Structure 1
């Protein structure tokens, strides 16, 4: 009987796509421009632990390309590994490591609500231009990100009302379609209003941290002095106009979810990890990268550029977990 030995070692051909692709080709495959890629890499490079493949170190820029390719396709890790020239296990380790590094180092910097009065006035004026709703800081809603069942006694907690397993992600979005607050830790069976009731965002509005600012939500939320929902049975013309303005302004959160999912299909197609913390870190990482692309797309008027460059870190409710 022929003995079965170990699989022979394969020498993969690894390509540095940062150097071989032009700007358009690079952005189409990795969703970031080369300038944005360099900016992200410079901020997380110290967190990246070198891995070995065939006794050769994998450079930090190659590792970031692996993670971006996974976010931009949402496909199996084996496909990403073949594209980047490495084995599946190495690609898996890199994706988990990079997702944790991005979420840990960059989330509080790029996903935040600016608290200064002039910044809040700017946000409210931009939201007012959508349909005339005054004092609106942002629109609030939740989106279900598909996951694979984690198994165990609590497996059914992750099944949502639509019948599939998911993580229920709450986001607060402004008129630039940027994510200003993100809560990623609740199973799919949790109601949207429960997530908001237990979020730090609610405590911040209760303490009037944002002055007289308002947020808009759908009928799944309860009305508060700072949270407005549509009228159930509008009768008068004024009530009908209020609902129309409310819907037109609140739809920016739905548009944000659409842009986020198209930019990083891993949000739409879901993850197939065996631990919830790994899925959470991927969601947080893609939220950071999405905000980076939105920030560079919007036009910054003269005179307020310095507001965006001042580091102003808030503690945002999220759950970055070690895998």
Structure 2
């Protein structure tokens, strides 16, 4: 083949360069330049709380050795925007000059960084003095004594799963989910969380297999939990009386319901702040559990900083148990003694 003339070669290179795809750099604005109201509306937190969160995980999200990449500030705020506003990752990324793929990686990275701090923010009381303080806070709700936590499960919707185990993620309402167990205190702070069980798993089984139950069984706590009728009555876990026979039992139920409502309010506030918990998680299953724990950490940080805004009309995927586990004689005796002591007329 005859060699191309030098002018022909130059012309061919120019044609190739003219069809080559140009890399487009998206502009990034400074979220902290927004006023306080707009910032909280977009990023679910006050600026001071967001700054605390960024500083908490900064070392895990630092730039590379050349000083390039996405700053910890943009990474954290991008992830929070994705989780909080029910926006697809591409839309959230557009606000910060990031591609969809980069936004997805950032959400995973930030979730893992936050989850590493879970032991510092999600914990049951470690001293009797702390238990007494929590008992007093619950008692002020409806005069129900010796309570250190309210427990319940909530379903977090996930993407359709494949494989042989897919059917076990379908709950009674017919959608794929994880059944997440949460124990909270009187200030709606999450004290314990179990986020690994498939949607078809019964609430009582999750508790029976948890380390929390083991700690109560071995006497680590002097107080007790309140749960709904989906849990088995235990000396350390009181449930409602399904058919009260006298006024004392009715008063017990009224106080129980009003006090245990704390955990339902906790779910409402948690899911109100992070809409992905309310409408469904779109990330891969292996990242869902880590993200749920990370969102529990963020929820507790908001409570600690007084950054909680209660709104009415918040609903969540509540699933009432159809099964009532049988209680043993000793648990029934402990409950009756408790009612006679604290709720007798």
TM range (shorter): 0.7 to 0.9
Indicate yes or no: 2:26 matched with 1:12.
yes
* TM-score normalised according to structure 2 size: 0.80
* TM-score normalised according to structure 1 size: 0.86
Indicate yes or no: 2:250 matched with 1:237.
no
Which structure 2 residues correspond to residues 137-148 of structure 1 after superposition, within 5 A?
137-148=148-159
User: Post-superposition shift, 1:251?
Assistant: 0.6
Indicate yes or no: 2:290 matched with 1:281.
yes
User: How big is the alpha-carbon RMSD for the aligned residues of Structure 1 and Structure 2?
Assistant: 2.0
Look up the match of 2:325: none
| Counterpart Cα distance in 1 of 2:75 and 2:92 | 11
| Counterpart Cα distance in 2 of 1:8 and 1:167 | 43
User: Post-superposition shift, 1:74?
Assistant: 2.1
> How many aligned positions are there?
291
Q: Secondary structure at the match of 1:224?
A: coil
Look up the match of 2:220: 209
Look up the match of 1:27: 40
Q: Do the aligned residues in 1 keep the contact of 2:122 with 2:190 (CA within 8 Å)?
A: yes
User: Post-superposition shift, 1:267?
Assistant: 0.7
User: Post-superposition shift, 1:49?
Assistant: 5.3
| Counterpart Cα distance in 2 of 1:257 and 1:129 | 21
| Counterpart Cα distance in 1 of 2:25 and 2:55 | 29
Query: Which residue, out of 96, 99, 111, partners 1:87?
Result: 99
Structure 2: which 5+ residue stretches go unaligned?
A: 1-15, 309-345
**Alpha-carbon spacing, 1:252–1:7, altered in 2? closer, same or farther (3 Å):** farther
Look up the match of 1:44: 57
Look up the match of 1:183: 194
| Counterpart Cα distance in 1 of 2:256 and 2:181 | 19
Q: Do the aligned residues in 2 keep the contact of 1:139 with 1:217 (CA within 8 Å)?
A: yes
Structure of greater Rg: 2
Which structure 2 residues correspond to residues 221-260 of structure 1 after superposition, within 5 A?
221-260=231-270
**Alpha-carbon spacing, 1:7–1:253, altered in 2? closer, same or farther (3 Å):** farther
User: Post-superposition shift, 1:277?
Assistant: 2.1
User: Post-superposition shift, 1:298?
Assistant: 8.6
| Counterpart Cα distance in 1 of 2:260 and 2:279 | 25
Question: Which protein, 1 or 2, shows the higher relative CO under an 8 Å CA cutoff with sep ≥ 6?
Answer: 1
| Counterpart Cα distance in 2 of 1:114 and 1:139 | 13
Q: Do the aligned residues in 2 keep the contact of 1:176 with 1:298 (CA within 8 Å)?
A: no
User: Post-superposition shift, 1:273?
Assistant: 2.1
Pick which of 43-52 and 157-166 moved more: 43-52
Q: Do the aligned residues in 2 keep the contact of 1:44 with 1:102 (CA within 8 Å)?
A: yes
Look up the match of 1:59: 71
Look up the match of 2:82: 70
**Alpha-carbon spacing, 1:291–1:67, altered in 2? closer, same or farther (3 Å):** same
Look up the match of 1:100: 112
**Alpha-carbon spacing, 1:155–1:8, altered in 2? closer, same or farther (3 Å):** farther
User: Post-superposition shift, 1:115?
Assistant: 1.4
Structure 1: which 5+ residue stretches go unaligned?
A: 300-323
Pick which of 246-255 and 111-120 moved more: 111-120
Q: Do the aligned residues in 1 keep the contact of 2:131 with 2:148 (CA within 8 Å)?
A: yes
Deviations 1:19-38 (A, max 9, x none): x1122221221112222222
**Alpha-carbon spacing, 1:137–1:298, altered in 2? closer, same or farther (3 Å):** farther
Deviations 1:62-119 (A, max 9, x none): 1111111111112211111112211100000100111111111x21111111211111
| Counterpart Cα distance in 1 of 2:214 and 2:107 | 34
Q: Do the aligned residues in 2 keep the contact of 1:99 with 1:285 (CA within 8 Å)?
A: yes
